[in-house]
Amino acid sequence: MRYLVDNFGEIMGFTRTHLYLALLPLLIGLVIAIPVGALVRRVRWLRRATVTVAGLAYTVPSLALFVIIPPLAGISTIDPLNVVIALAVYSTALLVIAVPAALDSVPAHIVDAAEAVGFSPLRRTLTVEMPLAVPVFVSSLRVVVVTNIAMVSVGALIGAGGLGKLFTQGYQRDYPDEIVAGIIVTLVLALIFDRLVYALGRWATPWLRADSRRAHRKGAAA
């Protein structure tokens, strides 16, 4: 804890870089995965192919991606963009699998009712299925957020920055306090953003909060 206090300014700088490298790929993944996942869900063979490719992409070790991406993208290995692209690949891979699964969780009778009142497929997806799919999707989103925050640390091995620098510097200096500080701050960030995503999911599903309150009142009355 003493190290955290004495080096607060430096750690805050690492933290800002860490969050940039973790959250930008998440946003990129969301922009790509939500429309792609919604589209491939309706074509069985395309969905299977997409899930297979996404699964294979996610199994590629991060260090291997850090080596493969620079020559393909025309950037330096130590460029932070290398980490952003790699984590965007992982984020997209996980989310493009999660989107169809979340949409599948919407009860069939609700989808049928939307069709019966004349909703077009696009309108039904945007105004009925996607809002109701939020709870399932948020569960996957929480995994991606925490995974990204953890994996950014690996980028320090190629000099990309972030809290992983505390690990590499601590190892090089044989200074365990620096390593422990990196672990603590990374864990705290992961917990904070996990709860933020959970809270965002709760905010986006007011009907679930209402159901929970009614169930609580019924339980109290019983």
Domain boundaries, the chain: 2-221
pLDDT for position 122: 87
Q: Which fold has domain 2-221?
A: MetI-like fold (1.10.3720)
- What is the reported pTM? 0.87
State which residues of the chain have pLDDT below 70. Answer: 1, 209-222
Give burial (CB, 10 Å; 0-12/13-18/19+) of 33. buried
Could you read off the pLDDT of 161-186 as tens digits, one per residue?
788 888 888 888 888 888 898 899 99
Number of neighbouring beta carbons within 10 Å of residue 201: 18
pLDDT for position 40: 92
Tokens 């105004």, located at residue:
127
**In angstroms, rounded to a whole number, what is the distance separating the alpha carbons of residues 37 and 103?**
9
pLDDT for position 216: 53
pLDDT for position 141: 95
**In angstroms, rounded to a whole number, what is the distance separating the alpha carbons of residues 41 and 25?**
23
